[in-house]
């Protein structure tokens, strides 16, 4: 039995596990997914890396309509992430090799045809996968609540096993909301408006979607508390 569990439960936060499912047919352009063809307007160009000038891979998009209101970001409907498989930036601070932004969508938008996508045969592009969201109530990592848990290593290990079970058997499971599990030191992320950014999601290296972050690492996403513009999102990749 984990000591002080009733007290610890007061720290619960709503979260949704992200479970990829291989797509048997092309998915709709507006849905939450890994890989495939993104929501890209007819007058938009496919994102190209500012450093190497190679087309970037479409990694994922999140349609916030698939999530409860407390996990949505203001007036924005969709988050999209493109990534350069040559430059492989480790965070938004690299200022190259990625495009991460929010956008508003409309059923009247005219989109680029699927054949417009710039795919690279020489790189392991992300595999198109649908996403199943599974809601759960997340808890913070053990080091965040040492004042409650105490310093006993056995008690902390038991608590971490409990959190791992909540996350489907993986502390680093892909999820929206909840608490991050850091592989390295916790970073400080600030928006260009000066506000401290909040944790949005962590995306594990997902074999199903053919995603590998560094040495089997994790991608962490952050957002401005009141998204001040479509670019008010950041990322960092950590690995062992």
Q: How confident is the model at residue 240 (pLDDT cuts 50, 70, 90)?
A: confident
| Distance (Å, whole) CA 190 – CA 196 | 5
Q: What are phi and psi of 144, to 5 degrees?
A: -80, -20
Cβ–Cβ < 8 Å for 138, 175? yes
Beta strands in 84-128 (DSSP E): 98-103
**Tens digits of residue pLDDT in 23-81:** 999 999 999 999 999 999 999 999 999 999 999 999 999 999 999 888 889 899 999 99
In the CATH scheme, what architecture does the domain 5-169 have?
Roll (2.30)
Answer yes or no: is pLDDT of 116 > 80: no
* Domain range list for the chain: 5-169
| Mean pLDDT taken over the chain | 92
Q: Is 47 helix (H, G, I), strand (E, B) or coil?
A: coil
Local structure of 147: helix, strand or coil: helix
- By DSSP bridging, strand 175-177 and strand 57-63 are unpaired
Q: Residue 149 has which token pair?
A: 């848990």
Work out the burial of residue 109: count CB atoms within 10 Å of its CB; fewer than 13 is exposed, 13-18 middle, 19 or more buried. middle
Q: For residue 8, what pLDDT is reported? A: 87
Q: What is the pLDDT of residues 16-37, one digit of tens each?
A: 999 999 999 999 999 999 999 9
């Amino acid at each position: 039995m984990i000591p002080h569990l009733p007290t610890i439960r007061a720290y619960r936060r709503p979260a949704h596990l992200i479970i990829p499912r291989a797509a048997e047919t092309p998915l709709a352009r507006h849905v939450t997914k890994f890989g495939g063809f993104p929501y890209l307007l007819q007058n938009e160009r496919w994102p190209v890396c500012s450093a190497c000038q190679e087309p970037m891979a479409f990694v994922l998009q999140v349609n916030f309509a698939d999530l409860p209101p407390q996990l949505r970001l203001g007036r924005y409907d969709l988050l999209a992430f493109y990534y350069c498989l040559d430059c492989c930036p480790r965070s938004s601070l690299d200022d190259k090799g990625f495009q991460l932004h929010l956008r508003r969508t409309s059923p009247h938008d005219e989109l680029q045809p699927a054949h417009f996508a710039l795919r690279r045969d020489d790189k392991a592009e992300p595999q198109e996968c649908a996403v199943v969201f599974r809601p759960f109530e997340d808890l913070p990592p053990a080091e965040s609540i040492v004042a409650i848990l105490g310093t006993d290593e056995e008690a902390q290990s038991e608590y971490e096993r409990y959190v791992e079970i909540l996350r489907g058997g993986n502390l680093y499971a892909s999820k929206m909301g909840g608490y991050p599990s850091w592989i390295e030191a916790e970073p400080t992320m600030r928006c260009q408006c000066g506000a401290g950014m909040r944790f949005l999601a962590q995306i594990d290296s997902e074999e199903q979607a053919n995603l590998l972050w560094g040495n089997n690492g994790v991608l962490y996403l952050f957002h401005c508390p009141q998204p001040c513009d479509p670019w008010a999102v950041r990322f960092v990749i950590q690995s062992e």
